[in-house]
Chains A and B, each alone.
Chain A
């Protein structure tokens, strides 16, 4: 494991090293166990003793070029992974029994995407990685499966749908921002899995609501959103200020 990491470490400036070291611990917890691992992940995501997360007021800027687009994807995967890790760690879940193991799968998939992007960015664009984001899920009621009409907070399925739809639209919109096609390929391998998640969650909320268009979209084409539009939605779920202005420049 350390053999694989060493080249990346040597290319990276100092601040990156603690991040990489933490991947190993976090990954071990994530993949080695089932429920216990998910709990550990959730705790790791919240703990303040391992790293110095950006304070709430900090702006997160994404730099330019392909590194910025990868970091953009990484930011969204961080949010998704943190959300599903929190769902997976619930001791009393409002989800149906059949849904619980599936949401554990979603948690694992998103954690894999997050770790994959972090590893890829650190290897190919050492020193550009954005800090760990601090999730802000106070608009989500984790005791509700789906929100009632009178609820002001999202239920778990509502939030999952929002995250997955947002992820698909973000990847679709980011395609034109990549300078080289190599990253387009790998983004394509991830976005279709996000779309599968979206269809799964949508069908849970309303059977047969997969791939439906809400609002103005065209039949048979999933949405695409610019980074600015995506962050306008994602900002609700993050403490730090996300700055989309340079992504893909």
Chain B
């Protein structure tokens, strides 16, 4: 599978009914396993994501679809985004649209089941008017919108870190890694916009940031966006830390504790934690 040929097709409409050639993605998956998976955007609550290639691609597709929906709705909301920043969010929307199209095409080309496009509700009410509003004013108040956008971009960086490695097709994996870095630029930019409006926040997750306050029922988003980012110990082999933090006597010696140690590394997020956050918006 040539990456460039996928990219060439990104802007095109989805393929017609003609069956696409089988791709490496499907070869790694096993047809039966894919066919057995249920339709629908969210994985069933009882089944924790198993981090197969199919699960990785569909979860990243849901993430990108969520961001496409948020930026689409935000750009359509009169008076929400200042004129000076309209171009920024148009670029963010264009990028996320490309990313969603890539994963959609990958699934279609593999002959895999494509999850239906969910109906998104960024109030956190799940489309039910009587449900509590978990994310108030995100489409009417610019600061509330930016805070939500930042958390979704932070989640995005971490989920690509987690799921890219689970993608079995090497071309698609490399494409995912290149998206990963773009999501980090998105996050840094939105953090910069918030900083410019007086929020105490840096361009990278830091313990010096002021926490974004959410109701308990929306905590899954904060957990998925930045929970665990304070980690200052890095492993290569599980359970065996690189003798680095102790070498520098940073993490254990509060006298010279330096938040930069945790800032210098972004942390992956578990697919289950990410799914819990994504489920808040469908």
Are chains A and B native binding partners rather than an unrelated pairing?
A: yes
The size bracket of the interface on B is 35 or more
- Residue B258 CB within 8 A of the other chain: yes
Measured between beta carbons, the chain B residues less than 8 angstroms from A190 are 264-265
Report the bound CA distance from A29 to B193 in whole Å. Answer: 34
Q: How close is B179's CB to chain A, nearest CB, in angstroms?
A: 6
Segment among A139-147, A214-222, A238-246 that sits at the interface with chain B = A214-222
Across the interface, do A112 and B184 meet the contact criterion of CB distance under 8 Å?
A: no
| Contact residues in B for A191 (Cβ distance below 8 Å) | 177, 180-181, 184
Q: Which residues of B contact A219 (CB under 8 A)?
A: 94-95, 98
Chain B nearest CB: distance from A168 CB in Å?
5
Kindly state the separation between the CA atoms of A113 and B268 in the bound complex, as whole angstroms. Answer: 17
Encode contact with B along A89-115: 1 for CB under 8 Å, 0 otherwise. Answer: 000000000000010010011001101
Provide the main secondary structure of the chain B interface. helix
Write out the residue numbers on chain A whose beta carbons fall within 8 Å of the beta carbon of B170: 176
**Chain A residue contacts of B184, Cβ below 8 A:** 191-193, 195-196, 199
CB distance from A91 to the nearest CB of B (A): 22
Residue with the greatest number of chain B CB neighbours at <10 A, chosen from A176, A202, A221: A221
In A185-233, the 8 Å CB interface with B consists of 185-186, 188-200, 202-203, 208, 210-212, 218-224
CB nearest to A105 among chain B residues: B260
Cα–Cα, bound, A184→B135 (Å): 35
> Does A196 contact B188, Cβ atoms closer than 8 Å?
yes
B182 pairs with A195, CB closer than 8 A: yes
B62 is an interface residue with CB less than 8 A from chain A = no
Q: Which residues in chain A, 1-27, are within 8 Å of chain B measured between CB atoms?
A: 1, 4-5, 8, 23-24, 27
Instruction: Give the nearest-CB partner of A124 in chain B.
Output: B236
Say yes or no for A183: interface residue by CB 8 A criterion: yes
Residues of chain A with a CB closer than 8 A to B282's CB: none
- Contact call B165/A203, Cβ cutoff below 8 A: no
In the complex, chain A residues whose CB is within 8 Å of the CB of B105: none
CB closest chain-A residue, reference B177:
A175
- Is A27 within 8 A of B266, CB to CB? no
A32 proximal to B (CB < 8 A): yes
Nearest neighbor of B87 in chain A, beta-carbon distance: A208
Interface string of B256-272 (1 = CB under 8 A from A): 10101101111110000
Which listed residue, B7, B179, B183, B247, touches A1 by the CB 8 Å rule? B247
Question: Is the pair B189, A203 in contact by a Cβ cutoff of 8 Å?
Answer: yes
State whether B192 touches A123 (Cβ < 8 A): no
The docked-state distance in angstroms from the alpha carbon of A55 to that of B213 is 55
Please measure, in the bound complex, the distance between the C-alpha atom of A184 and the C-alpha atom of B261, giving whole angstroms: 20
**In the complex, what residues of B have CB within 8 A of residue A183's CB?**
236
Would you call A200 and B248 a contact (CB within 8 A)? no
- Asked, given contacts A4-B247, A31-B258, A193-B263, whether A181 binds B165 with beta carbons under 8 Å apart, the answer is yes
B residues contacting A by CB (< 8 A) are 7, 85, 87-88, 91, 94-96, 98-99, 157, 160-161, 164-165, 170, 173-175, 177-189, 192, 202-204, 234, 236-237, 242-244, 246-250, 256, 258, 260-261, 263-268
Q: Which 7 A-B pairs have the closest CB atoms?
A: A220-B95, A195-B184, A199-B188, A199-B185, A192-B184, A196-B188, A211-B185
Q: Name 8 A/B residue pairs within 8 A (Cβ), A-sorted.
A: A5-B247, A119-B244, A171-B181, A181-B165, A198-B188, A208-B88, A208-B189, A220-B94
